[in-house]
Amino acid sequence: MTMVTGLLVGYRYFFSLPNIEQSIEDYQNRELLSVKIALDREFVFLKTLNYDYAVWDDSYEFLQTLDSRYISSNFVDDTFKSLKIDGVFIYDMNFNLVYSKTHNYVQVNDFDAPEFNLQTHQKNKSILPLNYITPQNNSLQHSGFLKTQYGPVMFASHMIRKTNNTGEQIGAMVFIRKVRPSFIQKIAGVSQVDLTHSIPADGQFDTHLKKLTGSLQGGKIATQRRRVLLDINNEPLMLIDIKHYHQQLPILLDRDLLLTLIMFLLISLLGLFIINRYFIRPLISGAEALNKMLLRNTLSPLRMSNQFLELQVLIKGFNALFMQISEKNKELERISKIDGLTHLFNRRAFDEIFDQQWSEAKNERSTLTILLVDVDFFKQFNDVYGHQAGDAALQKVANVLNKTALLYQGVAARYGGEEFILLFNRLSDEQGVEVSNLLLNAIIDLHIDHIGSDIQNQLTISIGCVSINANSIIEQNIQPKSVIKTADELLYQAKKEGRNQIRFKSI
């Protein structure tokens, strides 16, 4: 009996416990990774907003002309609240601040942010993407955290470009959002990890603390641990305390092992079989499954069952975490592709759909039709009726466009500001013109008053319509961007020749 006990205890100490600890280590690695993923996801929304404003003809024109009407139309206090941002900064290529506005959208008051004056705070120049543009790296955007006198902020920056993503490098736009306590609560909710945070005082920072990178970084398993979040200047921004799901580490002698020893008195061979069948193999399978997930950098549920307490807790906890993260990721993915005001697809989502349907049109040799729609004299509409009425008008227009798109098995998206874009597959030229005229009349039938219009006293639209067949795509090697450019030129022609009309071209 003594020998059997020694063998079983030794087996647990030298083989089982290391496997259990490895499984817990893999699980804790996943928890840290989920925190890092949730943190990165928060930047998706800010970068999407920043991209939509930076890659826009109006922003590009403002940096060339410094027309104050652009500011008054786009960056009023209500804009900060609706976008959930706390600051906007526009710089030229020499890091000079062309325009800035900081407004706390929660407390509804302005505040100073001297750290974004890059002439007096030159170490912060790295917030702009132009610092990273090299022959080897042509990225036009950048994001991260920055330490300020009002606490940490997250930022997203992008080079200012035309709507079609062309034009010379003339400057950059930065959006910021304060890191509030609700930010950490949201990260904890998405990652399903218990988090608390604190702001380190100047000069009171443990330099041995590890950065938050999504792994244990060689550390041992523990019930809780501390990580530091650094800003872009490698200065300590925030201390994050992470409480792991496992509140008890595995012990040498547990109830299951004692029961096994008692059973071993009755029949040792049966005991050995049970240990091998119901303990060792599931442990190895679980560890291998988690290691494969780490190597593939993907999550999947553990499809295994076991009667041992540690593994039951581990398997159930991991699968519950997987389900919650999957649901959150699906929701975040959906939100990142939907325009918040009109609930249509945003431009980034449309670009993905357009590329996919472009390939399908080439393979199936079908026709694609693009409608680029612009609300006539919308600037004057906002000036006369206010931005809230303008938002309501855009929502009504978007509703009409979406219903029409669905009627013809198409897709509608907000392309920027008061511009919308519709995509149809397998429409004839006559149907393209028919849909365009249907939209013109449908918007007029909304009877939205517009005394600021130069053509009539109600809201109207102008449309540039392009139809392209598969033969043109293949034989003339036409690219998707050139089709949108043609639609934009037709829209410009329709606006130039009086608005409330369409201009059509078949390629």
HSE-CB of 206 using CA atoms within 13 angstroms: 9
Is the CB of residue 422 less than 8 Å from the CB of residue 344? no
> Which residues face 413 on adjacent strands?
345, 421
State the greatest distance between any 2 C-alpha atoms of the chain, in Å, as a whole number. 100
> Which residues face 198 on adjacent strands?
239
Is the CB of residue 89 less than 8 Å from the CB of residue 174? yes
CB atoms closer than 10 angstroms to residue 198: 10
| Nearest of 255, 249, 258 to residue 8 by alpha carbon | 258
CB atoms closer than 10 angstroms to residue 495: 18
CB atoms closer than 10 angstroms to residue 8: 20
Is the CB of residue 464 less than 8 Å from the CB of residue 471? no
Q: Which helix (H) or strand (E) holds 65?
A: helix 57-65
Which residues are within 8 A (CB) of 120 and not within 5 positions of it... i.e. 6 or more apart?
A: 114
Which residues are within 8 A (CB) of 258 and not within 5 positions of it... i.e. 6 or more apart?
A: none
Q: Pairing between strand 502-506 and 461-468? A: parallel
Q: Identify the DSSP state of 122.
A: G
Please state the length of the chain: 507
Tokens of 397: 């227009």
3-state secondary structure labels for all residues of 290-353: HHHHHHHCCCCCCCCCCCCHHHHHHHHHHHHHHHHHHHHHHHHHHHHCECCCCCCECHHHHHHH
What is the C-alpha to C-alpha distance for residues 212 and 201, in angstroms, rounded to an integer? 19
Is the CB of residue 465 less than 8 Å from the CB of residue 369? yes
Q: Pairing between strand 171-178 and 151-159? A: antiparallel
Which residues are within 8 A (CB) of 238 and not within 5 positions of it... i.e. 6 or more apart?
A: 152, 179, 197, 198, 199, 200, 228, 229
Secondary structure (3-state) at 102: strand
Secondary structure (3-state) at 231: coil
Is the CB of residue 9 less than 8 Å from the CB of residue 265? no
Indicate if the alpha-carbon torsion angle 401, 328, 183, 234 is positive or negative. negative
> Which residues face 197 on adjacent strands?
240
Secondary structure (3-state) at 469: coil
Q: Catalytic amino acids?
A: 418
